[in-house]
Amino acid sequence: MSRTTVSRTLLATSVLTVTALLATACGGSGSTTAASSGGGKNLHVYAWAGEIPDSVVKGFEKETGIKVTVDTFDSNETMTAKLSTGASGYDLVEPSQYTVQQLIGQQLIQPLDHSKIEGLDNLAAKFRDPSYDKGNKYSVPWIWGTTGFAYNDTCIKSATSWKTLFDSAHKGKLYMLDNMLAAYIAGLQVTGHRATSTDKDQIAEATAALVKQKKILAGYNSTNYPQLLSSGQACAAEAWSGTAMAKVVQSNKNVHYVIPSEGGSIWTDGLAIPKGAKNVTSAYAFITYLLRPEVAAKATDDGSSASANQAARAHIKDKDALKNPAIYASDAAIAKADFLLDPGTAMQYFQQGWTKVKAS
């Protein structure tokens, strides 16, 4: 008896769901049509998880009546794949800086009409006219972070240079990020080159430095290195700024996050409008909304990320975050930091070199 009931329930559920699916499908296409003809009452956003706080989305919906759908991706590549179909349905995407370059190259995003955006002046100097997108022609930076290193002062008194991570005095207590491009930031800068280098010989030099360094490393780690630093198991580790690192810097006074004197590097996730977006008016409205200082402040207060908006800093309630270098590195520290760019054809030199490092 129970079996029959179960199969019936399953059948009923399935039928209900099919009906619901058809209903939503029809509803969805119907509203899209309405939006494209009626001036935009919808907005489809494709962003990194957690980078556009829910409070921001709700606030925008309440103020404008535009219905926002936010989908999240796990990597720039996933997002690029979707856009490359040409019919992704998204009106606003959030690529990282090197992906902005790639999307421009593949003609997947459209130039921004600056007359439809207010508040670009609020951006910090570093993000106005960045190297990867001259004049913010295609993208508006939203949040940012850095790649540097962190150390525990119980075993290293003070450190300001990448050389710390290449110093055999700390053998077996050093970690590097398990990430090719991140490792090469250190490798290139410690050998006196820029992190944006695409020169074959310079990359080979960096590879040699990284191979040599591997002998004194405890390992490559991009997951729990903040904890290793906190427990003292690691003396120094290459590190990404962000929530995990910031928590350790906050809770353990012995751990310090540093942008190395050689420059380190900086990344930013910005807003761009895909080619063929249907609700362009809504997308511009959302960009303008996100550029408001009090809204951008929520990226820090509700999302624990650093905002690219200079004017927002006065509105941030979490003053500790502003002082935490693992969230907001100081202006002086990032002055020399390069945006990592799309290495283009030099990618193969990095890949071959990294294979050599990993196999050594």
Partner 1 sequence: MSGRTRLTGRLPDTVTAWLARGVIVFLYVPIVVVVVLSFNDSDVTYRWAGFSTRWYGVLAQDTDLLSALRVSAEVGVVSATLATAGGLLAAMGMGRLGPRGRALFSGSLFLPLVIPEIVLGVALLSVFGTLKASLGLTTLVLGHLVVTLPYAALIVLGAHRALDPALEEAATDLGCGGWQRFRLVTVPLLKQALLASWLLCFTISFGNIVMSTFTSGVGTTTLPLRVYSLLKTGLTPEINALGTLLVLFTFVIILGAGLRQMRRVLVGDGTD
What is the pairing mode between strands 306-307 and 140-152?
antiparallel
Helices and strands counted in the chain (H then E): 13, 11
Nearest CB to partner 1, comparing residues 50 and 59: 50
Distance of CA 284 to the CA centre of its chain: 21
Query: Is residue 12 a contact point for partner 1 (CB under 8 A)?
Result: no
Q: Which of 110, 84, 79, 119 is nearest to 96 (CA)?
A: 79
Alpha-carbon distance of 184 to 196, in angstroms, equals: 10
Q: What are phi and psi of 144, to 5 degrees?
A: -150, 170
Q: Quick one: which segment of 80-88, 106-114, 151-159, 327-335 binds partner 1 (CB under 8 A)?
A: 80-88
CA distance 237 to 226: 8
- Nearest CA to 147 out of 216, 242, 226 is that of 242
With CB under 8 A as the contact rule, the residue among 99, 102, 152, 304 that binds partner 1 is 304
- The least CB distance from residue 275 to partner 1, in Å, is 13
Minimum CB distance to partner 1 smaller for 17 or for 355: 17
* Residue 2 CB, nearest approach to partner 1 (Å): 7
Q: Give the gyration radius of the chain's Cα atoms.
A: 23
| Closest to partner 1 by CB, 53 or 187 | 53
Task: Name the one range near partner 1 by CB under 8 A: 237-245, 258-266, 287-295, 308-316.
Answer: 237-245
Number of residues in contact with partner 1, rule: CB under 8 A? 44
The contact mask relative to partner 1 for 103-142 (x = CB under 8 A, - = no) is ----------------------------------------
- 83 vs 337, beta carbon nearer partner 1: 83
**In terms of DSSP bridges, do strands 140-152 and 236-240 run parallel, antiparallel, or are they unpaired?**
antiparallel
Distance (Å, rounded) from C-alpha 240 to C-alpha 343?
A: 20
Minimal distance in Å, beta carbon 283 to partner 1? Answer: 13
Q: How far is CA 244 from CA 102, 229, 290, in A?
A: 29, 12, 25
- Beta-strand (E) ranges in 25-124? 42-48, 67-73, 92-93
Which H/E stretch holds residue 140?
Answer: strand 140-152
Is 257 annotated in some ligand binding site?
no
Spatial distance between the Cα atoms of 198 and 167, rounded to a whole number of angstroms: 26
SS3 123: strand
Q: Which of residues 137-196 bind partner 1 (CB under 8 A)?
A: none
Can you read off the two tokens belonging to residue 316?
Answer: 């941030």
Shortest spacing between CB 103 and partner 1, in angstroms: 16
Among the candidate windows 79-87, 131-139, 153-161, 255-263, which touches partner 1 by CB under 8 A?
A: 79-87
14 binds partner 1 (CB under 8 A): yes
Position among 161, 179, 198, 243 found at the interface with partner 1 (CB under 8 A) = 243
Using the rule CB under 8 A, which residue among 80, 161, 179, 224 binds partner 1? 224
Angle at 346 between CA 343 and CA 352, to 5 degrees: 120
* Nearest of 255, 267, 140 to residue 195 by alpha carbon: 267
85 is a contact residue toward partner 1 (CB under 8 A): yes
Q: Which stretch binds partner 1 (CB under 8 A): 48-56, 175-183, 257-265, 325-333?
A: 48-56
Of residues 89 and 119, the one with the C-beta less far from partner 1: 89
Annotated binding site for spermidine: 98
Q: Contact positions toward partner 1, by CB under 8 A?
A: 2-3, 6-7, 10, 13-14, 17-18, 20-21, 24-25, 28, 44, 48-51, 54, 69-74, 78, 81-82, 84-90, 224, 227, 242-244, 247, 303-304
Annotated binding site: 98
